[in-house]
Amino acid sequence: MSEVRDDRQYTETHEWILDNGDGTFTMGVTDHAQALLGDMVFVELPGEGDEASHEDEFCVVESVKAASGVYAPVDLEVVTANEALDDEPELLNSSCYDDGWLVKFKADNIEGLMSAEDYTDTLD
Amino acid sequence: MKRTSDTQQSRRTPLYQAHVDAQGKMVDFGDWEMPLNYGSQIEEHHQVRTDAGMFDVSHMTTVDFKGAQAKVFLQTLIANDVDKLKTEGKALYSCMLNESGGVVDDLIVYYINDEDYRMVINAGTTEKDIAWINAQAQGFDVSVEPQFDLAMIAVQGPNARAKVFEAMPGVEEVAGELKPFNAASLGGLFIARTGYTGEDGFEIMLPEKSAEFTWKMLLEAGVKPCGLGARDTLRLEAGMSLYGSEMNDEVSPLEATLTWTVDLTNEDRRFVGRDALEELKEKGVEMTIVGLVLEGKGVIRDHQKVVTSLGDGEVTSGTFSPTMGKAIALARVPMGTTGSCEIEMRNKMVSAKIVKPPFVRNGKVLV
């Protein structure tokens, strides 16, 4: 059974978004997604200040099995990316909701995302 | 066990329950329900490179050939010459070819005596192979006997043999002195010092009813179960061909760096496909298989386009090499291609170095 955390919101494409309460948000891939992809071996991260529109592919996570795009959940500007993933992409497997976060971003709003409950329903 | 029912959706080996118990992620693999991994295929890969891991390869098929003309028949059926086999248990790798020189399957054949040989063929090609073999056997005094009730466990890694001896009483006495590419029998066991990982170890054929017990004894001796995911990255690092990827019914061994498995020395041995190979040799072989190493990020995937100075090619097997920490691949490219090439990856052209496989053998990086 995949872990879904109540403290954050989700997308249909298996990203999670956590409100940091200071106008910034942290995002990553869900437990369900990391389990499906298997061992992660590379992560292609955006740069600081990069802008992405809603549903743009702006990161790539690559596992032994497949390369998979990570999509902007809303219109956003990247504040910082998790450079620890360059050396330890396996953090995406071992700690997808904590140390394996992908990017922190700024956005005007994050409407249209799913609650933990709704996301859990999509996994059945 | 394996081919008893046509209505069964997918086939299970006698070790199916053992895989489920070990949290194996079961996937459909050419009609078989097989474990892809038991958690992390990268850890399983390292386990084989550094210690000992085991694979359930019971989906592969063992075929015995018996009869006064077993030897002449195999000399006709396969491209390598079983006349090289003189001692009991000696193994030979070969392809069997169709009339156009394409590969029907790649296989290992073991010598018991001139009237008794054992062959191991691929799982996915089993039905095709047996139909082909039976058709070729017409007119020969040979009986073709598939052994569908055998399980097979491959134990691989630098500590594999020692752990097999610990787990399986009596095996060291018969297999302790076996040289690579030789096999020995012990009752219903057939123990071959062969493998598909680039590491030392055994491939053990055994009655299906003994499979689960043996698997448990190996687990207790510290041999970790490894899935098909690790099996593929290990064989690719070892530079070994996979049927359906590097060669198939339309690709000859000469175009797949398997020329060493084709024996043309005895002019009188007119094996199936020989005429086509000789014609191809005369005309000149245009394509070959090379190794590729990606220096940058990303993973090379099967069927990606390869661009070289001599023309285009294609990735036949691409993966991430856990031992090297880089993407590697085998690719079909124009003969004579050297230096570097470009691979089209996710709409970008990425440069890769051309190397001669193997990439890794016995734990050491060679490229």
Is residue A48 pLDDT above 80, yes or no?
A: yes
| Class of domain B286-357 as given by CATH | mainly beta
Helix/strand/coil (H/E/C) assignment for every residue in A87-109: HCCCHHHHCCCCCCCCEEEECCC
- What ipTM did this prediction achieve? 0.86
* Domain limits for position A28: 9-109
Number of H helices, E strands in chain A: 4, 9
Q: Do B346 and A67 touch (CB under 8 A)?
A: yes
Would you say residue A82 lies in a domain? yes
Instruction: Report pLDDT for A124.
Output: 77
Q: Which of B297, B298, B319 sits opposite A64 (nearest CB)?
A: B319
The domain total for chain A is: 1
Q: What is the rounded average pLDDT of the residues B288-305?
A: 95
The SS3 of residue B73 is: helix
| Residue range(s) of every CATH 3.30.1360.120 domain in chain B | 16-57+149-237
Contact (CB, 8 A) for B59 and B11: yes
Would you say residue A42 lies in a domain? yes
Q: Among A117-121, B6-10, B244-248, name the one with the lowest average pLDDT.
A: B6-10
Nearest one of B172, B199, B200, B204 to B188, comparing CA atoms:
B204
- The DSSP code for B163 is H
Give the CATH number, domain containing residue A70. Answer: 2.40.50.100
Nearest one of B365, B307, B314 to B340, comparing CA atoms:
B307
% of chain B at pLDDT higher than 90: 95
Backbone angles phi, psi at B313, to 5 degrees: -140, -165
Give helix B208-220 / helix B160-167 axis angle, nearest 10°: 110
Q: Which residue of B has its CA nearest to A64?
A: B320
The domain covering B16-57+149-237 belongs, at the CATH homologous superfamily level, to Probable tRNA modification gtpase trme; domain 1 (3.30.1360.120)
Q: Which of A60, A64, A93 sits opposite B320 (nearest CB)?
A: A64
Would you say residue A17 lies in a domain? yes
> What is the reported pTM?
0.93
Q: What is the rounded average pLDDT of the residues B304-319?
A: 98
**Which residues, in sequence order, are CB contacts of A33 under 8 Å at separation 6+?**
A14, A15, A68, A96
Q: Which of B229, B297, B298 sits opposite A64 (nearest CB)?
A: B229
CA distance B360 to chain A (A): 18
Q: What is the rounded average pLDDT of the residues B300-321?
A: 97
Scan for tokens 């992908």, then name that residue.
Answer: A102
Q: What is the rounded average pLDDT of the residues A53-77?
A: 94
Partners of residue B301 in chain A, C-beta under 8 Å: 66-67
Nearest one of B207, B124, B191 to B154, comparing CA atoms:
B191
Would you say residue A53 lies in a domain? yes
H or E stretch including A44?
strand A40-44
Would you say residue A56 lies in a domain? yes
| Residue range(s) of every CATH 2.40.30.110 domain in chain B | 286-357
Nearest one of B291, B180, B280 to B236, comparing CA atoms:
B291
Would you say residue A59 lies in a domain? yes
Beta A57-63 vs B116-121: how paired, if at all?
Answer: unpaired
Contact (CB, 8 A) for B197 and B239: no
Instruction: Report pLDDT for B347.
Output: 84
